[in-house]
Amino acid sequence: MKNRRHQNADKLLLLLRIAASLGWFAIIGVQIIVWLAAPEFDTGIVRYHELELRDHWQEYWVQWLPLALGACALLSLLALGVSPFRSRRKTDPKRIHLLVLLALTLLGYAVYWFQILNNVG
């Protein structure tokens, strides 16, 4: 016989895990986009071999940063919103990793806007 008491809770737990996992994948995607878009560093090897450096941000990749950060923020907020409905005991995990994910996303937004304001002003 199937235990029906935990059927809804399992769907919420699955939604929480999927949203949290997608949020972490989104923050990894943001890191990859920043790595691709950022200007290149001038190092001794680059100077020795007289290689050309890109000293500006690539606009194609920069345009995707707000969307990726927004997806990460929405997924972490979704997971944080589902978490109280799933947790019924005080001993349940507090999901600190979701707060860290949200903090990283907000820090990413702050750096993004700081860079824009420095380039405009």
Average pLDDT value over all residues in the chain: 80
Task: Quote the CA–CA distance of 7 and 88 in Å, as a whole number.
Answer: 15
Give the per-residue pLDDT at 9.
56
Question: Each residue of 27-83: pLDDT tens digit?
Answer: 898 889 888 888 888 888 888 888 888 888 888 888 888 888 888 888 888 888 777
pLDDT over 60 at 121, yes or no: no
Confidence (pLDDT) at 84? 67
Q: What contacts 20, CB < 8 A, 6 or more positions away?
A: 75, 76, 79, 95, 97, 98, 101
Least confident of 5-14, 20-29, 109-118: 5-14
